A and B are shown apart, each in its own frame.
Chain A
């Protein structure tokens, strides 16, 4: 079934069609959510929330390409989740809490290669305005126009951000590798 047929059926209340939408697009959402820097253990909750919002606003979805809309919703859900993480426990409690080792372990398993791991963490440290275009361009094969649609940017802006993002990333990566002394030391 074509994308627009599926959406139309889901909009009419077909859970089977909505289930197919989940099958087709959930890997994209999961991957994008992880690349945006969410903890692996949060990915399931984020994916669920994304599809709940897709369902909630399916009636209002019209001209735009579905995937563009999906990326936008994933970004919004991620922003909501990241606000949660900003809770400053130390400000509230008089004692320190242990860091959570579990999340690190999962990511260690997902990215076994040291180079991949370092690059992943450097991307997370990039400013959001550079990070998201890089993720969409390099990991999701999105063209400049589509990135512009997702982020509400002009073509020129997308190109500039990609260029600056790459420059920043190269610098961060070089600094990180220097510090770790693993690859160039």
Chain B
């Protein structure tokens, strides 16, 4: 009985704290939480003592009626615990779905999508029949409104093909744009954990650090009015974007939903900091506790150890020796034998070959050597080498983030990057053009397919942004207003408030980053709209 009393007192206090607005910035938006807490409190006040008494009486007296009553009430009293500990690990898809429908406390922010997310996790735990898969897909396709939980669930459902991680990443990033108020915390954590694993897999340590740190930023969306209260203007946000500190400001004002606390994200932060040779990487008790709370903690520990060891023996770029040909060929070997991670490295590679192929003295020396060997047409050999070099650069340009200015750019790399950028811009324009055409013709897709288009668009946008220093600006200037129109249509005509809000949010943040202030302002205002 005392257990029920403690739970009841806890929720009474939570409701009181929320109602009198002690939560600081959080007091702007805790309404749904107060309602949720109040509902939970009511449930426990009405049924909690009876449920606990049934358990105690049933066990003490071995009374089957009391035990039956206690068992029957368990899915009502603790639906999420039942799902998380029993039905999900056992892979019971339908049972998980129906029990999770009762979990208003954990999944209430996405009343229909949250249970689908839980069912999808259950689906992933063991091989399932085609019938079950069809049932699950059908549930997603029938959703009236896609919210954060269902968007995450859809991304998890399609995340089966490990070779298609790029698209999986775009789906997760698309899900991360949903407002926290429509995204159950468990879904947001899953998105954060997936993106952290992806960044670690790609050895993008800065991205891993950014994902890990996003777990703690404030949860609450600050609309224009709250920004005003905080003393942050739109132009200040734009300035922060140009200084590269936009994420900090946005996190502080809470406009990007946090992933929430997760031991995996805590360990990710330690991994990234060790890889980046941070002066003070997390260690000690907090890290040990985080590791203890991680599922499969031995794998996380292995990654920590591996990163610590690899930073000691990290491959160093070959130092120049003065022999242009030897330097170029050695750099070629270096970039071909391991993943190239920076544009600076790629430009260095391009410049090394330019010193061989286009400098008169080195070229004359090579022609002399060719004549001595009896080569009739050394130019043919040069052309072949040039072809190999440009092919290597073209392949690498697609992999590396070229989205920043380089002090000494290589012409070969710049030309290859421009070609890649143009192809990617074309693909992005085609995608957004098709969406615009559909909007103009009022042609509606199932909600999950609208989300899929958002994810594809994010994927293409990111590719353009990474292809050149001006890639992001170019991409946004081409598609910003069409995306806003699409989101308005989703809001006004299709009542897809959550997805539209996610697109507004994306357009606002990217508008600020690319200095399209007016469009950013429109989208910031749109984010503040209330639907439903």
A and B together in one complex: no
B-binding residues in A (CB < 8 A): none
